[in-house]
Structure 1
Amino acid sequence: MARKSGRDISGWLVVDKPAGMTSTAVVNKVRWALNAKKAGHAGTLDPAATGVLAVALGEATKTVPYITDALKCYRFAIRLGAATNTDDAEGEVIATASLRPSDAEIEAALAAFRGEIMQVPPQFSAVKVDGERAYALARAGEDMDLAARPLWVESLVLKARPDADTAELEMVCGKGGYVRSIARDLGQALGCLGHVLWLRREWSGPFEASDGVGIETIEREARTDALEARLLPLEVGLADLPELRATPEGAARLRNGNPGMVFASDVEWGEEAWASHQGRAVAVGVYKSGELHPSRVFNL
């Protein structure tokens, strides 16, 4: 997350990230273009990947965890017949296979990758190993035994088969999923090996790639009202949480970090929710006996 001089401006800018640009570079570009003091993103995309990169500004950065935890949709192509050291087309080919599965065989194999699965991250990933990033160790030639991690896969379907060497898939999954690992493990399961050819994040939580702003537009509209008008309100990042309406007195208490009274609702005791007053978010917290006990307070 970037914290530098600039304006106190809050909201979300949905960027349609181009290939060849890091997620950090996109955040820095947006922060510069809006002269924002604080910015961060809700979920890294590999440099070669494209699609939704939701950039949070100012107080919206406090809602980033709720977008990070939300479901995401990826469209990607697997190149069958070869494994690479990075599990994508950017790496070196380390093994090949002549076998090519049928569409039916691919569809049958996908069943094992749906639901709650255990997934080993790629060697070239941001996972930390003894305080070091795995990709740094991999570049130094180390072969790591990375621990498998749980991943919820809502759906995984074969969408197209352009040729015998290529399969296009769509996956909806939870937090922490590696598409490159899916390509690697599916290729191994099919006996043909595989790696990601291209990858696009179609949506992330409430944010759609079709609504994203291109880097060229950001550069053209930098430091103008036109770009600022593209910002979505902070509250969009709370779409997956129930909303409670705070009383005027409750809102004042919440802004000071104290439990505040909210109007009656169907939110259950102990459930996480957010409180609003006069249409703006005041705080996120836990609902208990008519009050919201805040964990995050918004200074809007």
Structure 2
Amino acid sequence: MNGVIVIDKPQDFTSFDVVAVMRRLCGQKKIGHTGTLDPMATGVLPLLLGKATRAASLLDDTDKEYRAGFQLGYRTDTQDITGKKLQECGERVQKAQIEAVLPYFRGNIWQIPPMYSAVQKNGQRLYTLARQGIEVERDKRPVTIYELILNEFDENTQSGALTVRCSAGTYIRTLCADIGERLGTFGVMSSLRRTRAAGFSLKDAVSLDEAKRLSEQGTLERMVRPTESLFSGRPALRVTGAQARRFCNGGALSLERLPGLPGDGTDGAFLRVLSPEGSFLGLGTVDREKAELSVLRLFYEEGN
């Protein structure tokens, strides 16, 4: 199989657990995922099958959307409810107060990665140090919160839920902790469901149980989407037969021979390159200095 299958990751599974299950169900070893989800998180986990794994390094900057539960009043060493409780605060917060502070977290903001994260410090993962009881200084990182909405808040239990649409690399549990701090109390993430990633949403996803059922029926391949779907937002360029052969052999295409270049055609822009029949060949990058469209990544199948 070559392409993308979107899994609705169950709770208490790591992303690698899901990959292991799908390797068995798909009968192939070459499977990768497009972004790790913590074990407590559920939701959209696109998996790359076969030749689609070549796309992994090109998807790091994709935006994501979450529905996150939060609890005010205490903090933990992991910034979520699975961690060790460190401190409590009896300060009571009203819904209007939360609405008032959310604008501070919209747009471009800075976050300090949590100790329980895969970020590296001097060659070591932070979570490895954290498990040894070691806390080190971490540099702030820029992230972007495109949308932040308070869906609900119970003033009695001091718990609620947020919708967050953000850039890659955003830590939602850190966002919950920072919101709590801004409110003069503490906050932890109580649940997390990823509703969109890599251009796919929950409506595109299949559960692991459903994937197992389809595998037993021999129909799992129907859920595999073409690799091209990962780049559906990119402009498409249909080339001639001769140009397709040259491109598939790694050769650059002259921009002069590509009339009607789609998109803005700026230097560095990349396009979906299609055969005369519309088959996806790969991605090309515009190089204005050389006046050519060079090969960024090939995905074509033999015989296309």
Shared fold per TM-score greater than 0.5? yes
Distance 1:247 1:280 in 2: 12
Distance 2:155 2:2 in 1: 46
**Aligned residues: CA RMSD:** 1.6
* 2:262 aligned with 1:266: yes
Distance 1:182 1:139 in 2: 22
Distance 2:80 2:62 in 1: 25
Distance 1:118 1:249 in 2: 49
What pairs with 1:174-193 in structure 2 (closer than 5 Å)? 174-193=167-186
Distance 2:32 2:259 in 1: 33
Please list the CA deviations of residues 11-35 of structure 1 after superposition, one character each: whole Å capped at 9, or x if unmatched: 1000000000000111121122111
**Structure 2 counterpart SS, 1:218:** helix
Distance 1:173 1:179 in 2: 9
CA apart distance, 1:132: 1.0
Same amino acid, percent of matched pairs: 34
**Structure 2 counterpart SS, 1:175:** coil
Letter of the 1:206 partner, please give it. G
* 2:138 aligned with 1:146: yes
Name segments (4+ residues, structure 1) moved above 4 Å.
288-291
Q: What TM-score results when the alignment is normalised by the length of structure 1?
A: 0.92
Distance 1:232 1:263 in 2: 30
Distance 1:120 1:61 in 2: 30
Distance 2:216 2:169 in 1: 34
Distance 2:32 2:2 in 1: 11
Distance 1:223 1:291 in 2: 48
Match of 1:239 in 2: 232
CA apart distance, 1:169: 0.5
**Structure 1 counterpart SS, 2:223:** coil
Match of 1:294 in 2: 295
Letter of the 1:75 partner, please give it. R
What pairs with 1:128-277 in structure 2 (closer than 5 Å)? 128-164=120-156, 165-222=158-215, 224-260=217-253, 262=258, 264-267=260-263, 268-270=265-267, 271-277=269-275
Match of 2:283 in 1: 284
Q: Which moved more, 1:41-50 or 1:247-256?
A: 247-256
CA apart distance, 1:210: 2.5
Distance 2:144 2:249 in 1: 37
Distance 1:291 1:244 in 2: 13
Do 1:14 and 1:54's aligned partners in 2 also have CA atoms closer than 8 Å? Answer: yes
Distance 2:96 2:222 in 1: 48
